[in-house]
Structure 1
Amino acid sequence: MRNVSINLLDHTPRPVVAIGTDYSHGQLLPFHTHRRAQLLYGATGVMQVRTHDGNWVVPPQRAVWIPPGVAHEVLMLGVSTRSVYIEPGTVDLGTRCQVISVSPLMRHLLMEAVEVPLAYELEGRDGVLIGLLLHELARSAPLPLHIPLPSDGKLLALCQNFLRQPNAHQSPQHWAEQLHISLRTFNRLFRQQTGLSFSQWRQQACVVLALARLAAGEAVTRIALDFGYESPAAFSTMFRRMLGQAPSVWLEAAN
């Protein structure tokens, strides 16, 4: 199925409903929920997903898992999507969103899934195809493309300020002083609230924010300097350590 709302097909008596949709550049899908879980795959372009728990950037040819009932908004940047909406309990990838890698096999299965009839034969070829897709999904690997946000109001404000103006050298001591707590208390609070150490969160935030800017066509040098890195090489080293590829490789995939 193509360019159809899941709301019209949600009660189809099949475990999976697959829909392909083309979006205009910059189109925003405001906060909404689905009864089914959603695997949202971008064949082209970049998606920015936001929930009340954090932010995710989904590069080209990756996908984001959105559990059932999770409110989310999505900014589409030149994206053609393939979505599979999955009955709750069919596949369990957790109760929080996550960006996942997409194997070459899964990619072909996703592209093919949108072509199968809505009421596909469960025991036929199309049912086997959907079943294999679910197996591939269950074994997919998560990617560190999430910026978790704390629930503590004062700490949340600091995190949001950082996301507006990232600085790779901002210290935990500086944040602790703004919160009027000791460094030890700050480090404990930060990990409790985000699941990451401050340095891990800062680095992960820089990578995720950089991906969005790379997708918009910005130069690596400009991004590196804006984020406080001494040189593009230093930024590229950090980026490669986090994602296994240089920024230029990701930039080529986005174009």
Structure 2
Amino acid sequence: MRNVLANQVDALPGWIVATSNDYPTHHRIARHRHRRSQLLYAAHGIMVVGTETGRWIVPPERAAWIPSGMAHDVHVLAAISTRSVYVEPEVNAALPQDCRVIGVSPLMRQLLLETRDLPLQAESGSRPDLIYSLIVQEIERAPVLPLDIPFPADPRLAKRCRTYLARPSPHVTIDDWCRDLAMSRRTFTRRFRSETGSSFAQWCRQAAIFAALPRLAAGEPITTLALDLGYESASAFTTMFKRLIGMPPSRYLAMSHGPARESA
């Protein structure tokens, strides 16, 4: 089905449901949850999926997996065309139980594009049923991509992370964080890594890239932005940006300001 609002999905019948939507740059979908798990695929465009535990960048031709019942919001950074597949938890117990960004194989991409005009309810053994079944199998085997900014479980540490993510600064040091949180450097370092799975320095570098996305889309020069975020040069920023996002800032800028186009 096309153009189904997020709060209408749970009312649709079927063990597996597929929808497609197009959203403009800067569109936001408020925090909500579904009874089914959701595969949210970006045919083109870029979005950020947020939950209480972190943020996930979803570049073009990648997908976010959001487990059933998990509250999440979506921020569109570059005009996007999406395909969503909603799967009841009983369909396959082996499907992931955590939010993640996954790689989309050429086979899964074609299957997802096919879902746009499939009927809501598919008879067992029919072509739509086989397409849905194969998508579920592809989800199960899809690689996990390191495109997340995890938040710690510790409420004070998580609050400090959200504050930094809203406005990263190269002048804020690990000692500043330790002082603000009344922790020793050793305790902070150990707790931060155990709760985020990342070193403090690596987390801050990724947070800076996340924060750069809307600023790039707003037209800020790459060199100015790179220096503002603490990179020695525009080329150093570009290298890290490409490593995380999968494309250079120049291509991201072109996508942000170019017209949306249909991919299927």
- If the length of structure 2 is used for normalisation, what is the TM-score? 0.84
Q: 1:13 to 1:122 in 2, by over 3 A?
A: farther
Q: Counterpart of 1:137? A: 139
3-state SS of the aligned residue for 2:17?
A: strand
Deviations 1:209-249 (A, max 9, x none): 33444445544323212211111111122234445543334
3-state SS of the aligned residue for 1:178?
A: helix
2:102–2:145 Cα contact (<8 Å) kept:
yes
1:146–1:205 Cα contact (<8 Å) kept:
no
Rounded Cα–Cα distance in structure 1 between residues aligned with 2:6 and 2:119: 15
Q: Counterpart of 2:17? A: 17
1:56–1:145 Cα contact (<8 Å) kept:
yes
The CA deviation at 1:168 is: 4.6
1:49–1:73 Cα contact (<8 Å) kept:
yes
Q: Counterpart of 1:46? A: 46
Q: Please give the root-mean-square deviation of Cα atoms over the aligned residues, in Å.
A: 2.5
3-state SS of the aligned residue for 2:65?
A: strand
- If the length of structure 1 is used for normalisation, what is the TM-score? 0.87
AA matched with 1:87 = E
Equivalent residue runs for 1:1-255 within 5 Å: 1-5=1-5, 10=10, 14-77=14-77, 78-91=79-92, 92-168=94-170, 170-242=172-244, 245-252=247-254, 254=256, 255=258
The CA deviation at 1:17 is: 0.6
Range moving further from structure 2, 241-250 or 150-159: 241-250
1:49–1:74 Cα contact (<8 Å) kept:
yes
The CA deviation at 1:61 is: 2.2
3-state SS of the aligned residue for 2:152?
A: coil
Q: 1:96 to 1:219 in 2, by over 3 A?
A: farther
Deviations 1:176-219 (A, max 9, x none): 12223221111012123322221221122223333444445544
Rounded Cα–Cα distance in structure 2 between residues aligned with 1:248 and 1:25: 17
3-state SS of the aligned residue for 1:114?
A: helix
Rounded Cα–Cα distance in structure 2 between residues aligned with 1:227 and 1:11: 44
Q: 1:218 to 1:57 in 2, by over 3 A?
A: farther
Rounded Cα–Cα distance in structure 1 between residues aligned with 2:47 and 2:41: 9
